[in-house]
Structure 1
Amino acid sequence: MSERLASFSPAFFVIVLIAMGILIIFGLTKEGKTPIFIADESSAEQKGIFKIYHYKVYADFAEKGVYSIPEANPAYFRLVGNTSETESIYFQTTANTSFAQHIATDESHVYCGNLILPKLNPYTVYYIGDGYVSDGQLTYYCSLEFSPNQELGIIRTVYQQILFNFNKGPRPQTVLYSFKALPVSQKSYQLILPNIVTDGQQAYLAGELMREALPQKLHYMLQPDKDKSSQHYLADGQHVYYDNDLLDLQDNNQLIAYDISTAAGYYLEDPIQHIFYFKNKSFPNKLAPLRILNTTDKHGIPILFHSPKGIYYIEGVKKIVQKAGKSPFKDKLEQIYPDVFSNGTKSFFLVADKTTTRGRNGYRLCSYITSLMELDNAPAEKWEEIGRAGYGVKSPSSIWKNGMHYYYFDKFGQESAIKSSIYKIRDPALANYMTFNAVESDTIYDYIQMGFLEIPPHREVIRAESRLHSRFRGC
C-alpha cells in the first residue's frame, strides 16, 4: 500500500486536496439543507432545540446546521421533564416541572439531540437534571452542549458530504450531543452537585466516574473571595479533582482554586507545599515555593508565577510551563495592591497587551501578553493611599501618592479597555475629584483617551507571551 501511495506525484495529492475542499465548500453553501430555512420559519413549532415542520422533526445545532430525525414521530414528540411519577409521555406541565431542552421523546424512542438513546423506555423516562435522564432502570448522560464528532474523520466527512450534495444520503454528523450510559444500579441516581450524580456509592461527573470519590462529602472548592465556588476543582475531605481527574494531592482546608477565565486558565494552590496545579497538571516541584502574581486576568493574560528560579507562565499552544525571565523580586515580594508589587525598594506593575493579524475576515487574535514593568522614580517605601476612586462603585479603584506624584490604581481592567494596573494622574485636582466622586470605568477610559491619565514612565522587566496558534497558521 505504501509503495502504491509513493508512486503518486505530490501534484496528485494537491489536486485531491483541492477537490476535497471544493466539495466541502459546495456542501456547506448548498441550499436545501432543511426546508425550515427556505419556507416560513415562523410556522415551525419550537420545542427546546427541536423544530417540528411539515410533520417532520429536526434538531437545530445553531450555526452548525439542522439535522433531521427521521425516526421521530411529531405527533407524540415531547421534551423530557423531571416527573418521575409519570406513567406515560402525556404528563402535565406544572411550575415545578423542568425540561431538558436537548432531550426529547416520542412513543418509541428517547433522543439526545438527533441521536437515539438505546433501550431507554420513552413511557417512564424522566429528567434528573444537568443532562442526566433515566427510565428507572437505565440512566444516561446527554452532554449539555454539542461538540465536534471526533469519530467521523475527514475522509468519511467528505464522502458523506458528496452523497448529501446529490441527495443520496443524510448530512454528515459533524457535530453531536455526545452521550454516555451509566452503570445499572439498584438505587436511583440523584443529582447532588452541578453536573454530578450519585447512586450513593459512586459519583459521576458529566457521565464519567470520579475514581475513589466520597459522594456524601464531595464539594466544589471555594475561590479566594470565599463567596464563589470553582466550576472545575472538587474535593471530598481526602481526594482532590480537576473535573473527573483525580489529582496526586491530599485534600486540606487551605487549598485555593482560581477559576480565572477560559483564556487565562484554571489553577489550584496548595499553600502548605507552595505548589500549583494548572488544570490537572502540577507545576514542576523544583520551582517551589511558587506564588501567583495576578489572580485575575484584568491586567494580564497569561497569569504570572514567581519562583526563586524566575517568573513562569503557561504557554498557550502546548499548555506547558514556560520561563518568562529572571525574577526582579529575589527573596522579597510584596503586593502593594492587586497587580502592583514591590521588592522592598522598587515598584512594579502589570500591563496587558495582545497581538493580532489581519486576515480575510478581519483581525485575528494571535497572542496574549502580560508585561511586568518597573516603575521609574517611585520608591516602594513612599507609597501612600489617598482614597478610593469611585466612591459608591461596587469595586472601587484607588488613588495613591508617591513623592509629589499622584497615581490611579485600577480595578476595572481589560474588559473596560483599561490595560494597565497603574496610571499617573497629571493634575492633582483630578486626583482629589476622583477620590470623592463616583467614577465608573467609562469615565476612566475617557480620562485615558484625553491624556488626563497616562501609563507612567517605566522599564519592561518581564514579557510573557501566550500564543493561541502555531506560527505557521498566519500569526
Structure 2
Amino acid sequence: MKINGEDLSSIEKNANEIEYYKSLNTIFKKNLIIIIIVLILLILFGVISLYKTESEYNLNQKILNNGQKYEKSIYIKYEGKIYCNSFGDIYQLKDADIDSFKTFDTGDYRDNYIATDKNNVYLGNTTIPDLNPNRFKSLGSNYYSDGVNYYFLSDNYIRNEDISTWSIVKEYIIHFKKKQLYFYPFKKIETTKALKGIENFRYLASDGEKVYYKGELIENADLYTLKAVDKYNDDYFYDKNNIYYKTKALNLSSNDNLNLVSVEQGERTYLYDGLNGNVSLEEYIFDKKYIPYQILGIDSAHVKDLLFVSKDGIFFYNPETKEQERAGDNIFKGKVENILSSVISDDKNIYYLHSYNIYRKKRTKHGYIDILVSKNIGIFSLGEKKDWEKIKDIDSGTTGQVWKKGNKYYYFDDLGVYQLIDDVVYEIVDNASLKYLLETNNINDDTIREFVRDKKLIAFKGEEVSTASIKYKESHGAEIFLAVFLTTFFGISILMISLKWKAQKKDREKLEEERKKIEKQMEFWDNYYNNNEEEKKEDEKIPTSYKSYDDEEEIKKEIDKIKPIVKNSDDIEGLKKREKKINSIIKNFNVDELDEEEK
C-alpha cells in the first residue's frame, strides 16, 4: 500500500529487519557479558587462590621453623594449637586439648603418626571413634585396642578416591578451604576375642584362630603354618593350603619355592612359582596351559618389565589391557641362562634385552611435540656364542663385563639407565680405555659414563629378533574438552537466536495479516489522495482542527492499528503527517457534501 507515494509495506519490512538485528545484537551482548563475567570470576578466583596459597605456605613455614615438635612424631605445637605435618602438608587438629595432648610413643616408628589427649585418639589429623585414650595400647603389627574395641591403624597414607575435581573446587569456593586429598586408612575389627599382632608380619593379626590382614578377615588361613613369601613384602604370604595376595587366596598350589621377581626399578612385582613354573601378578594368574614359564630380565636395569618364556612362545604383561600377551614364538635353542641381568644365552647364541620407546612428531601451534606410540622390550641377537670370549668381570660383574669377538673388544653393561648408561653393549674403540678396563680393579659408574660421553665406548646394536610391544592411543582429552565447550557455547547461542527468529517470524505473520486488512480499508483513500493532488494542496491550507464525521473516526482507528507495526520513531512521525493529510481530505469531502445540499 502507498501513502503519499511511499510504500507502507517496505517501511514495515525495514522496521522488522531493524528489530531482528537489534535482537541479534542484544543476544550477542548478553553472551559477551556472560563471558566477561566468567573470566573476571576465574581471574578473581585465581588471585584469591594464589593469595591463600601464599598465606598457607608462609604459615606452614612458621610452624615448621618455630613450632615445637613432639619427639619424633608428625605433630607440632605452635601458638597454642596442635598441627599434623603429613601428606606433604600441615593440618590443624581443631578439637585437640593442648594440655593433655601427647604422642603415642612405643619406640616403634610406625606409632609416630598416632597421638592422644584426654578425649580422643588421633590418627594423623583424624579422630578415631570408639577408642578410650586412657586405656589405649598397641597390639603390634599396626593393631590397637582399648580393651573393648579393636582397630587396624595404617601408617601409610593413601589418596581419597571419593574426591573429585569438582568437590575440591567447590570446597575451596564455598568454604574457602583446601580439601584433604590424603588420609591414613583405618579399620574397626568386629570381634569379641582379644587380637594380637603376628610376629614378623607387618599387617597380620590373629585372635588365636582367625587371621586378619589390615583389619580384613582372611578366610580359612592357617595361623600355625603361615609364612611370608618375601620378608620385605607385606602383601604375599602362604600357608599349608593356599597362597595369598592380601586377603585373596590364589588358584595356585602352595609350596616353598615361591619368589617375588621384578626388574631393578619396575612398577610391577610378580609372584613366581619355581616348582611348577606358574606366574601371577597380584590376583591375575598367567595362563597355566603355557607353564612352565622361565623369566627373563630379573633385576635388569635396561628393561622396564620382565619377559616370560615357555615352549609355546614369549609372553609379557600388558598394563594397558591388564592381560598376558604373546610377543612371538620361542626363539631360543635349548637352555636359557643369564650372563648378566640384561644379557642371556641359549645353547647357540648370545642375546641382550633392551627397552625403548617409539614416538611420532605432532605439529602444534608452537612447533612439534613427541607423542608416545609404543613402549617396547626388544630381544637382540649378538650372534653365535662360540664367537664370543669373556675377558673380565668388572667389580664382580656388578658394573659389567669385558668380552672379545674376533679382534674387537666390547663392554657389556649392568649399571643401566638409572646410572645414565642407556645401552647394553658398547664397542671399546680406545686402546687406553681398554687397558684401563682390563687392568683396574675398582671401576665405578662415573668412569663408564665418562668413557661413553667421550666416545671411547660406542653403542653397538644387535639384530632385534623378538619384540614385546605395548601400543598407546593418542589422548585427545584437551581437544575434546575444547570442542565440547565451543560446541556447547555456540550451540546455545544459535539455539537462542533460532528461537528468537521463530518468535519474530510468527509476529511478522500476524502483522502481515493486519497490514492486509488495513490495506484494503485504506485503498479507497489512497486512490482518492493520489488522483486529487491539486485539491489536496488546497485542503492542506484548511485548518486541521475541524472534526470529522463517522467515516473519519473509522479511518483514525485503522491508522492507530498501523502505529504498533512501525517501531521506528521517525516512521511514527511520518505516519502522523499522513493522518493529518487524510483528515484534510475527509474535511474537504464533508464541505463538498454541505455545498451540494445547500444548492
Question: What secondary structure is seen at the aligned counterpart in 1 of 2:305?
Answer: coil
Measure how far apart 1:431 and its partner are.
4.0
User: Using the alignment, how far apart are the partners of 1:38 and 1:335 within structure 2?
Assistant: 52
Structure in which a larger fraction of residues adopt helix: 2
Report matched runs for 1:170-319 at 5 Å. 171-192=178-199, 193-222=201-230, 229-260=232-263, 263-319=266-322
The C-alpha deviation readout for 1:155-187, integer Å capped at 9, x for no partner, is 44333222222xxxx543332112111233423
1:456 aligns with 2:460: yes
Structure-2 residue corresponding to 1:80: 104
Measure how far apart 1:451 and its partner are.
2.0
Question: What secondary structure is seen at the aligned counterpart in 2 of 1:173?
Answer: coil
User: Using the alignment, how far apart are the partners of 1:171 and 1:283 within structure 2?
Assistant: 44
Measure how far apart 1:109 and its partner are.
0.4
Measure how far apart 1:442 and its partner are.
1.6
- Contact residue 314 and residue 466 of structure 1 kept, 8 A: no
User: Using the alignment, how far apart are the partners of 2:128 and 2:419 within structure 1?
Assistant: 45
1:411 aligns with 2:414: yes
Residues 50, 36 of structure 1: CA spacing in aligned structure 2 closer, same or farther, 3 A cutoff? Answer: farther
Report matched runs for 1:52-451 at 5 Å. 52-63=77-88, 65-82=89-106, 100-165=111-176, 171-192=178-199, 193-222=201-230, 229-260=232-263, 263-329=266-332, 333-354=336-357, 369-375=376-382, 378-390=383-395, 395-427=398-430, 430-437=433-440, 438-451=442-455
TM-score (norm 2): 0.64
The C-alpha deviation readout for 1:332-356, integer Å capped at 9, x for no partner, is 5444443223343332111233578
User: Using the alignment, how far apart are the partners of 2:174 and 2:59 within structure 1?
Assistant: 21
Structure in which a larger fraction of residues adopt strand: 1
Counting matched residue pairs gives 433
Measure how far apart 1:432 and its partner are.
4.8
The C-alpha deviation readout for 1:242-275, integer Å capped at 9, x for no partner, is 2332211121122222154664411112234322
Question: What secondary structure is seen at the aligned counterpart in 2 of 1:341?
Answer: strand
- Contact residue 327 and residue 468 of structure 2 kept, 8 A: yes
User: Using the alignment, how far apart are the partners of 2:235 and 2:371 within structure 1?
Assistant: 26
User: Using the alignment, how far apart are the partners of 1:419 and 1:289 within structure 2?
Assistant: 32
Residues 400, 18 of structure 1: CA spacing in aligned structure 2 closer, same or farther, 3 A cutoff? Answer: farther
1:200 maps to amino acid: G
Residues 265, 272 of structure 1: CA spacing in aligned structure 2 closer, same or farther, 3 A cutoff? Answer: same
Measure how far apart 1:73 and its partner are.
1.0
5+ residue gaps, structure 2: 1-30, 479-599
Question: What secondary structure is seen at the aligned counterpart in 2 of 1:123?
Answer: helix
Residues 121, 216 of structure 1: CA spacing in aligned structure 2 closer, same or farther, 3 A cutoff? Answer: same
- Contact residue 292 and residue 306 of structure 1 kept, 8 A: yes
User: Using the alignment, how far apart are the partners of 2:473 and 2:127 within structure 1?
Assistant: 37
Measure how far apart 1:217 and its partner are.
2.6
The C-alpha deviation readout for 1:414-461, integer Å capped at 9, x for no partner, is 221123333222356644532342111221121222222223242223
- Contact residue 118 and residue 134 of structure 2 kept, 8 A: yes
Identity %: 25
Measure how far apart 1:206 and its partner are.
2.5
Structure-2 residue corresponding to 1:89: none
Residues 184, 35 of structure 1: CA spacing in aligned structure 2 closer, same or farther, 3 A cutoff? Answer: farther
Q: Which one has the largest radius of gyration? A: 2
Structure-2 residue corresponding to 1:8: none
TM-score (norm 1): 0.79
1:446 maps to amino acid: E
User: Using the alignment, how far apart are the partners of 1:390 and 1:144 within structure 2?
Assistant: 39
1:124 maps to amino acid: R
User: Using the alignment, how far apart are the partners of 2:297 and 2:252 within structure 1?
Assistant: 24
